[in-house]
Structure 1
Amino acid sequence: MNRRGRWLFGLSGVAVALACLDSPVLLPYPLFVASALFGWRPFDARSPNARPWLRLLVATLLATGVLETGAWAHNFVRDAAEPALFHPQLFADLLIAVGFYLGWWLTWRWRLRRDRYSLAEVFWITATYGVLIEQRGAIFLQGLATLPLGLALWAFVALSYGSTMALAYVWAGGSDAFAPLARASSPRDARPLVARLAKYLLPWLGLFIASVALIVLWNWPLEALDLLPPKRLPMRAHPFW
């Protein structure tokens, strides 16, 4: 990235950080910008002997924890009557969310062992997946019905999802850590069209299947053992558990 690009990238992070005062769900983006610009790789530097996949797991859980806490705060400040969360109480929401976001880690663990992905590719693949899956597809359909204004809604969701996984990728070491571990592959232009498409379609498919399957498997013992509190509203009266 040239100097002008770095300035624009940095300014976008500052602008979104200010927007976080009203929309805290966007918090992963300024953290991602700062981490990418200043080379913050906490798990890569502090755990050089740890397996990259373990670093990616810890980074993914922390980055998605930032996203989910921001989403909870976004609903909390509005005292949402029907919060778009796994659970209206913060700690229960974070506990349930672990299963969902483990699907992200599992998918990227699989794909980063098979192919090489740039930071931008990790961002946009996860971002477009987020637009399609958010609120079980309602956000995608709402944006489609209100085009061209719907593009702003899609961009809002894409920014939060894409920056979250990109943040985890940077924290775990980025392409410098994971590209050497990927299966050797031909240059992109030399690949068959099917292989080029598979590089982007397979992560989508993996994210959809793994996140849904793992949240079901994770949530089953939580509900069977009655480990979750009942959902209580309004959120401001019952914020945490």
Structure 2
Amino acid sequence: MNERLHSVLAQRGVTPESLAEACEVDPKTVSRWLGGRVPHPRHRFRAAQHLRVEETFLWPTPPSRGGRPNAGLGSEIVGSYQNRASVPRETWLSLLQGAQRQIDVLVLSGTFFAQTNPHVAKMLAERAADGVQVRLCFGDPTGQAATLRGREEGIGDTLAAKIRASLTYYRPLLSESGCEVRLHDSTLYNSLFRYDDNLLVNPHVWGQPASANPLLHLRRVDATGWFDTYAQSFDAVWAGARPWTPDQEGTARHGQD
């Protein structure tokens, strides 16, 4: 069974019938692909293009004759987006709801994360209740990194205010077992959103808001790939971050409008 093809179809909301139509093949042919058969090269290309993923992710390069696997370039890339704002809301929701082991978020303000899903705290609490480890790491509104980033984006102290406003959505999580919220003062080269073996990487372009920058959807293949490199960077920032203590820091008790 081609589990990657099954997964991408579900995440994109594409039926086997519509994929068959896009590739101009019989629906039974797509069923055979889902069962593990490798399509003809022209069909692999059209399917990957229609699903907005790398062909080598859906059908990885087979091992060479010497027995050494060929790590096809981009084999971890499920898809890419011109900017974070173009990622469908359904993708964020399905990844969050489908997480079974861990959810890690590394951002500066992450305002959109709650504003596009007003029930995000409740959903995170539900995942934690099912045994999922939830770790949220925001920028420290009093730190130097937030001050510098605000200056580079030309918004001054607005970024610190956005962080404080964003944090108010997650106050209910502080009393939930399995949920942690910390503040970091690190130079953030990218925002990270991990859901088990799925990772959304939002690189930061100097002077531009994160929402306007590209986003890569990665799926873990092995311990030597991009996924683990980014995951380790999250762990490094998390280790140096401090617990969020809203009552001591005077953070507002209510979210922004």
TM-score w.r.t. structure 1 length? 0.22
More strand as a share of residues = 2
Q: Which has the higher contact order (CA 8 A, sep 6+)?
A: 1
More helix as a share of residues = 1
TM-score w.r.t. structure 2 length? 0.21
Larger Rg: 2
